[in-house]
Amino acid sequence: MTNDWAGKAGDDYTERNMVFPTIMQRKEVFSQILKDIEFETVYEVGCNVGHNLRAIKWDRPRTVICGAEINQAARLQAMKFGCIVDDIMEPLKLSPFDLVFCCGVLIHTNPKDLRDLLLRMNLLSQRYILLMEYFNAEPVEIDYREDLRLWKRDFGSFFMDHFPVKPVRSGFLWKPTSGMDNLTFWLFEKE
């Protein structure tokens, strides 16, 4: 994750994504991905304004939702929606969490920093880790808006190669039915 997201790039992203017409779709997506698993606390790395956290909360009202966000404008919006949010560089002292996840964050993380971010997620989780990202069988670097970069890879295999986890389920989210981008998800349980 670069500091570009703390400034103008993050502000622009937040402004582009303030409309939330797909809360029902996201609620259904998370309901399916997280079916049959028990959790009371959730932490999203890179929560932006909290759309995903709100969808989870709507499906499971008693869940404590927390997140990390590097962009101050997005962090303030998420807090208005009832999310407990901190700066991504300073994890909350409420950890460990039952479920830690990210959605579209690893693709913006420089490959040299990827293992460290996943290590942080693994340490914050006491049981489950969910990754929701663009997929490519081989690592590839892509130009992304202005001077930013985006990296695709098989994040699930990368995570399993570096941490003692077992897969619970994985799948593909198709934009027209999910209300999200075309994403691959991997849900892991710590061993």
d(CA 82, CA 144): 31
Q: pLDDT at residue 156 above 50?
A: yes
Percentage of residues in the chain having pLDDT higher than 90: 60
d(CA 95, CA 74): 22
DSSP 8-state secondary structure symbol assigned to residue 48: T
Mean pLDDT of 117-137: 96
C-alpha distances in Å from residue 136, one per residue of 67, 166, 181 = 27, 21, 14
Task: Quote the pLDDT of residue 71.
Answer: 86
Q: pLDDT at residue 170 above 90?
A: yes
H-run or E-run covering 72: helix 72-80
H-run or E-run covering 188: strand 183-190
pTM over 0.85: yes
Q: How is domain 3-190 classified at the CATH fold level?
A: Rossmann fold (3.40.50)
Q: What is the pLDDT of residues 45-59, one digit of tens each?
A: 999 888 899 999 999
Mean pLDDT of 98-104: 97
* Domain boundaries of the chain, sorted by first residue: 3-190
Q: What is the pLDDT of residues 13-34, one digit of tens each?
A: 555 565 555 677 889 999 999 9
Mean pLDDT of 115-142: 96
Give bridge partners of residue 188 from the DSSP assignment: 129, 167
Task: Quote the pLDDT of residue 1.
Answer: 47
Q: pLDDT at residue 115 above 90?
A: yes
Q: pLDDT at residue 181 above 60?
A: yes
